[in-house]
Structure 1
Amino acid sequence: MLACTRLWAKRSGVQSICLCGRERRPGSARRQHGRRAMDDASLWGFLDRGGPALWVIAGLSVLTLALILWKIWRLMLTGAWAGAATARAVALWQDGARDAAIALLRARRGLRARLALTAMRAVQNPQWTEAQAREETTRLAKGLLHEARSGLRALELIATIAPLVGLLGTVLGMIGAFQALQDSGSSADPAVLAGGIWEALLTTAAGMAVAIPASMALSWFESVADTVQADMEDAATQIFIAGPIRTERA
């Protein structure tokens, strides 16, 4: 496409001169540069710049999200935030309405409800002493607490190793950048070195970005599990205090 460049004369009668030539659009270079920037900023370009360590961190991020969603779903199924029914059943048990308390908990699948129901049945079992009833309740409580804390070790592991993987990727990237600087000799370009350094630092930032939410989720889940444990211990204590006291059999 031809474009005309007009030269305006101030003191001549010639109003303009049209120089025809191939048009060079200044916006095309900017668009090409922007397109390259978009390609570099894409997800695959970002992962490719970080190298293998960044791919590992990306996998850890997906695993972290899956673990958090799965843990929330499991805690909801086990009634981690629903302890009102167990509290009502314990109150009925203390008031002497033993059958009503057991009936209230029989259809419940929450951690607190299952432990309270086991404790009530253990107290009412005429063949067991108080020590045996407490031992059975303790055995079930350990299993329920293990269920409440399932998956937390994996989150703890991710929160620990994600920054280390990022640091390893940064160290390897820095080694490569300085090797390239050494190979270039006296004609080294500082911009190339700076580009290699910031690309190497991507893995450290990505590792921290994965470790921080994993640590936050781990602390939250641990606090929920601690609350459930405290509620279970309190309910079992109240049930045994209100239950019949049996002496050891000879």
Structure 2
Amino acid sequence: MAVEALAGIAEMGGPVVMLLIAMSLVGMALVLAKIWHFMRAGVGRHGALERALARWDAGERQPALEAAGAASSHLALLSVTAMQAATQPGADTPALRARLTGLAAERIAALSGGLRVLDSIAQIAPLLGLFGTVLGMIEAFQGLQAAGSAVDPSALAGGIWVALLTTAVGLAVAMPASLLMTWFDGRIAREAQMAEKVIDTVLCAGLGAPQCALRAARLSAGVAHA
């Protein structure tokens, strides 16, 4: 039944609606793939890492390292690398922080893969729908001009609502894509914040109290802003 309804809408709306339906299918497949990716990466599951960081702050270096390595989060590798490096002399050097920041950026970038396509669908779908409506209105008024004085109002109305159908389909595709894109962006932003927390918490153990207090305040401000 649903397939027949989609086929009817595509037939009435023409190639523009067919293209929009194809875009919606691509977007749906991408959303399902990203949800599966996030689940496999352990996005949002920070409990084990939080406990590992708490142990690290308490001075329990080896238990913290083991707890971080056993975490199911994709940030476990970052945590283990930071903890191992922090035990070396001169841990909090600009070079080490840059290396850890680069590793964190790599993990976050992996989560963003494919989302540009979803963002493009959210932006292009309403424009494409409007384009189809304009084409349909041109066709409807061409028919009105050709009919001369023998205008059939029902035929004109039918041509107009079919033209407006493409805008409705475009908006129906764009709105959920935009909402899902916002949701994905929010999850990724929280993962980036967690990665920064891991780096600062681990490296802060080797710093003096003033520097630690400054970075803790910055982290707290970031959490409040999010």
TM range (shorter): 0.7 to 0.9
Greater share of residues in helix: 2
Structure 1 gaps, min length 5: 1-37, 246-250
- Can you list the C-alpha shifts for 1:151-207, whole angstroms capped at 9, x where unaligned? 221111110000011011101111111111111111110100000000011110000
State the Cα distance separating 1:104 from its structure 2 match. 1.6
Contact preservation (8 Å) 1:166, 1:203: yes
**Structure 1 segments of 4+ aligned residues over 6 angstroms from their partners:** none
In 1, the alpha carbon distance for the partners of 2:170 and 2:181 equals: 16
* Counterpart selection for 2:85 from 119, 122, 137: 122
Contact preservation (8 Å) 1:123, 1:130: no
* Counterpart selection for 1:193 from 145, 152, 156: 156
Residue 240 (structure 1) aligned with residue 192 (structure 2)? no
* Counterpart selection for 1:86 from 35, 39, 49: 49
* Counterpart selection for 1:60 from 14, 19, 23: 23
Over the matched positions of the two proteins, sequence identity in percent amounts to 42
State the Cα distance separating 1:121 from its structure 2 match. 1.8
- Can you list the C-alpha shifts for 1:109-158, whole angstroms capped at 9, x where unaligned? 52332221121122124586622221210110110111122222111111
Contact preservation (8 Å) 1:80, 1:228: yes
After the TM superposition, which of the residue ranges 41-50 and 87-96 deviates more from structure 2?
Answer: 41-50
* Secondary structure, counterpart of 1:212 in structure 2: helix
* Higher Rg of the two aligned structures: 1
Contact preservation (8 Å) 1:122, 1:136: no
Structure 2 gaps, min length 5: 209-226
Aligned length: 206
Map of 2:32 onto structure 1: 69
In 2, the alpha carbon distance for the partners of 1:129 and 1:195 equals: 71
Between 1 and 2, higher relative CO (CA 8 Å, sep ≥ 6) is seen in: 2
TM-score (normalised: structure 1): 0.77
Amino acid at match of 1:59: A
Map of 1:158 onto structure 2: 121
Aligned-residue Cα RMSD (Å) equals 1.9
Map of 2:10 onto structure 1: 47
